Amino acid sequence: MSHDSHHAPVADKMELAPERSDLGLFRPDRTRGLFDWLTTVDHKKLGIMYGAFAMLFFLVGGVEALAIRTQLARPDNDFVTARMYNQLFTMHGTTMIFLGVMPLSAAFFNFLVPLQIGARDVAFPRLNAFSLWTFVAGALVLNGSWLFEFAHLAGWFDNFAWHKALVYTDFAPANGWFSYAPLSGTFGQANAALQAPRFTGVGTDFWIIGIQILGIASLAASFNFICTIVNMRAKGMTMMRLPVFTWMTLVTSILIILAFPAITVALIELMFDRQFGANFFNPSAGGQPVLWQHLFWIFGHPEVYILVLPAMGIVSEILPTFTGKALFGYPIIVFSGAVIGFLGFAVWSHHMFTTGLGPIPTAAFSLLTMAIAVPTGVKIFNWLGTIWGGRIRFTPPMVLALGFIWMFMCGGFSGVMHSAAPADAQQQDSYFVIAHFHYVLLGGVLLGLMAGLYFWFPKIFGRMPNAGIAYLATGMVILGFNLAFGPMHYLGLAGQPRRTHTYHAGNGWETWNYVATIGAFILGLGVFLAFVNLVYTAFKGVKCASDPWNGRTLEWSLPSPVPEYNFARSPIIATRDVFFEHKHGVHRLAYENDGGEAGVHMPSQSWFPLLAGFGFLIIGFGMPMMAMGVPHAGWVVIAGLGVMFMGIWLWALEGPGGYMLKTPSDPHGAAAQAKAESSAY
């Protein structure tokens, strides 16, 4: 076979003849620069790309948030129209959740999980690349809707016949991130062209197909990560020796594969309503809009834990490192994470108390919601137990992790308030809810993810972010965040409704809205400053040792940046935190094999995951065009499906490929030298 010659270990891929795949085509392994990034299957490079895209979309979502706050700074403001405002808050929520937090978590999953379990890569490297490019396709589809909106506002569409047929012209999604039916659906009777009248414009179709594509990306990635964690652990890495971050990745991935099918089906049903005149949520034909709410929140509530559990995992890695103590109550932390994931499926209707579920379901969902505070509280106490009596070193990641505990708890307290159905009936759709989930998602998740960025950046790029700017940014984020969202508790209880583009003077809301807007700008500047600091560090930062924090988990045992083959010698795990025990334990545990290995098997790069992702991009733009009535758009969708299938088919036929890489005989020579130079912290 063509790659038999690739069995002899080589020090550099270039020593081999160019590799041909089973299709007879050259594999893109000699590429450099852009083509290398487009065809890579290396989990570390994919992780970096996930992170870069996530940070970009964080900024996009942030600009949308600041536009919202600018509009609300004063009563009766006209900074944006009501229609634009709807699109802004919808895209803000959708962007932050699906294009900001989830991919940034995925960036950490990608980069860290194989390193933390002592593996070469994930179980399916090309599937991993497919997940990334499919995510990018979904993100471009969702945000591509803005281009249509701007073109429409500029009047470019006015001469097209299909445009005149549209009564409603929200080209960007405008239903809120949950797209409640019937607003997102249809009403009345479908006509001969199978189209029923709709409440909202083509933005909803962009949203439907965009989320559908992002769901495929998340599902593929999650199958891969579960498989990796369950199946690719190094010798001795039992489940109860896994780092907590890896554990939370596992729980999150399980949540994704069980929760996303509900939204997939809901989106299919909504798509059939809008494109083919079906009646799933059409009230005039007997459809029940409340069914959409159920299906959405059966996905949507686990989604909340999909967002927060990775951040909890990150904090569980940072606190032990900077207190010099093992994580307090490791098994209980792991168990609590699993219980949160499990209970996450049993509380969805607390988003729907005001729909009139009846007393029994309301009471049951109230109780279960209160119950979920227990494992969460257990985690908080375990983190406090970790800090207690530790030698605390204050560093940017540690300060952010402590901020996470504090701010997340505030969000948790208001969350427990919502769990009481009568109280929730008062708070529903008010700014109190906005305050609650921003404390959880921003004070919790964003601070946790920022902590993770500052913690692992030295490992990812071998360079240390500037601590002074990091502290400044952290201070601005925490101050600005509390100024922005603290007052919203009051505004909500004082009656200010969500999703409303303005308010009149005289309700007593003016002052705190103004304060919130100032806070939002401080927060936005803080996040921007933190990102600028990080991006600068990636390229120009001060080089640092491979283990600058005195880390505990296996990734710190590797040189920085991590070599493409990860572990020159496969690790042996005799205990939890084996690398820390190796450095400081009484017995100085050995943690790796004594060489003698045939080399490391490296997977080959491929164009086809990118091609399959490109197919999704074509489908994603074709479907809304079809809904707009653009002629022949159906053929574009079919062409996109063809490209997608072609990508997957060629990917299956090209074979996994790969070659053996000889690793250096003394992998720690450089690392040991770097360790001698003491770190800045």
Partner 1 sequence: MSQAADATHAHAPTSTGIDHKKLIMWLFLASDCMFFGTLISTHLLYRKLYPTGFTDAEGHQQFIQKLFNIELTSFSTFILLMSSFLMALAVSAMHKGQLKSFRRNVLGVIFFGLIFLGCQVYEFTHFYHQGLTIQNSVLGSTFYVLTGTHGTHVAIGILWLVLLYFYSFTGKLTGHMAGLDVEIAGLYWHFVDIVWIVIFTVVYLVEYLGPSGFWGTGLPLAK
Task: Point out which residues bind partner 1 (CB under 8 A).
Answer: 1, 4, 7, 22, 123-124, 189-190, 194, 196, 219, 223-224, 226-227, 230-233, 237, 257-262, 264-266, 268-269, 272-273, 276-280, 285-288, 291, 295, 298, 598, 601, 603, 649, 656, 658
**What is the H or E stretch that residue 542 is in?**
strand 542-543
Q: Least Å distance between CB 31 and partner 1? A: 22
Decide whether 486 or 656 has the Cβ nearer to partner 1: 656
Q: What residues have CB less than 8 Å from 381, skipping those under 6 apart?
A: none
Q: How many whole angstroms separate alpha carbon 373 and alpha carbon 350? A: 14
CB atoms near residue 380 (< 10 Å): 18
Q: How many whole angstroms separate alpha carbon 230 and alpha carbon 236? A: 13
Q: Least Å distance between CB 610 and partner 1? A: 21
Answer for the pair 396, 447: CB distance below 8 angstroms, yes or no: no
Decide whether 638 or 680 has the Cβ nearer to partner 1: 638
Q: How many whole angstroms separate alpha carbon 20 and alpha carbon 29? A: 10
For residue 118 the two structure tokens come to: 């002592």
Q: Least Å distance between CB 662 and partner 1? A: 15
Decide whether 298 or 435 has the Cβ nearer to partner 1: 298
DSSP secondary structure letters along 262-323:
HHHHHHHHHHHHHHH---SS-GGGT--HHHHHHHHHHHHHHHHHHHHHHHHHHHHHHHHHHH
Decide whether 282 or 323 has the Cβ nearer to partner 1: 282
Q: Least Å distance between CB 425 and partner 1? A: 25
Decide whether 382 or 604 has the Cβ nearer to partner 1: 604
User: Look-up: residue for tokens 């063509």?
Assistant: 2
Decide whether 252 or 321 has the Cβ nearer to partner 1: 252
Q: Least Å distance between CB 334 and partner 1? A: 17
Q: Least Å distance between CB 133 and partner 1? A: 19
Q: How many whole angstroms separate alpha carbon 570 and alpha carbon 663? A: 11
Decide whether 292 or 621 has the Cβ nearer to partner 1: 292
Q: What residues have CB less than 8 Å from 17, skipping those under 6 apart?
A: 5
| End-to-end Cα separation, the chain, in angstroms | 53
Q: Least Å distance between CB 567 and partner 1? A: 12
Decide whether 122 or 522 has the Cβ nearer to partner 1: 122
Answer for the pair 660, 9: CB distance below 8 angstroms, yes or no: yes
Strand partners, 115: none
Of 318, 578, 575, 568, the closest CA to residue 458 belongs to 318
Decide whether 154 or 193 has the Cβ nearer to partner 1: 193
Write the single-letter amino acid at 567: F
For residue 529, with 0-12 CB atoms within 10 Å meaning exposed, 13-18 middle and 19 or more buried, which class applies?
A: middle
For residue 389 the two structure tokens come to: 């009596």
Q: Least Å distance between CB 286 and partner 1? A: 5
Q: Least Å distance between CB 189 and partner 1? A: 8
Name the pairing type of β-strands 542-543 and 600-602: unpaired
Q: Least Å distance between CB 202 and partner 1? A: 20
Q: Least Å distance between CB 340 and partner 1? A: 19
Q: Least Å distance between CB 331 and partner 1? A: 19
Decide whether 256 or 398 has the Cβ nearer to partner 1: 256
Q: What residues have CB less than 8 Å from 15, skipping those under 6 apart?
A: none
Cα 610 to Cα 129, 137, 145, 249, 637: the distances in Å are 7, 10, 22, 25, 18
Decide whether 495 or 634 has the Cβ nearer to partner 1: 634
Decide whether 62 or 118 has the Cβ nearer to partner 1: 118
Decide whether 342 or 381 has the Cβ nearer to partner 1: 342
Decide whether 219 or 611 has the Cβ nearer to partner 1: 219
Greatest alpha-carbon pair distance for the chain in Å reads: 80
Q: Where are the alpha helices (DSSP H) in 95-202?
A: 102-116, 125-153, 161-164
Q: Least Å distance between CB 231 and partner 1? A: 4
Q: Least Å distance between CB 295 and partner 1? A: 6
Answer for the pair 142, 95: CB distance below 8 angstroms, yes or no: yes
Q: Least Å distance between CB 515 and partner 1? A: 43
Decide whether 495 or 599 has the Cβ nearer to partner 1: 599
Q: Where are the alpha helices (DSSP H) in 577-677?
A: 578-584, 608-628, 633-654, 669-676
Answer for the pair 396, 548: CB distance below 8 angstroms, yes or no: no
Q: How many whole angstroms separate alpha carbon 621 and alpha carbon 148? A: 11
Q: What is the signed CA dihedral for 164, 168, 173, 175, rounded to 10 degrees?
A: -170
Q: Least Å distance between CB 300 and partner 1? A: 13
Q: Least Å distance between CB 577 and partner 1? A: 19
Decide whether 296 or 512 has the Cβ nearer to partner 1: 296
Decide whether 232 or 671 has the Cβ nearer to partner 1: 232
Q: How many whole angstroms separate alpha carbon 614 and alpha carbon 640? A: 8
Write the single-letter amino acid at 631: P
Cis? peptide before 283, omega within 30° of 0: no
Q: How many whole angstroms separate alpha carbon 652 and alpha carbon 104? A: 29
Q: How many whole angstroms separate alpha carbon 333 and alpha carbon 551? A: 19
Of 494, 532, 533, 539, the closest CA to residue 513 belongs to 494
Angle at 596 (CA atoms; ends 590, 600), nearest 5 degrees: 95
For residue 494 the two structure tokens come to: 């004082």
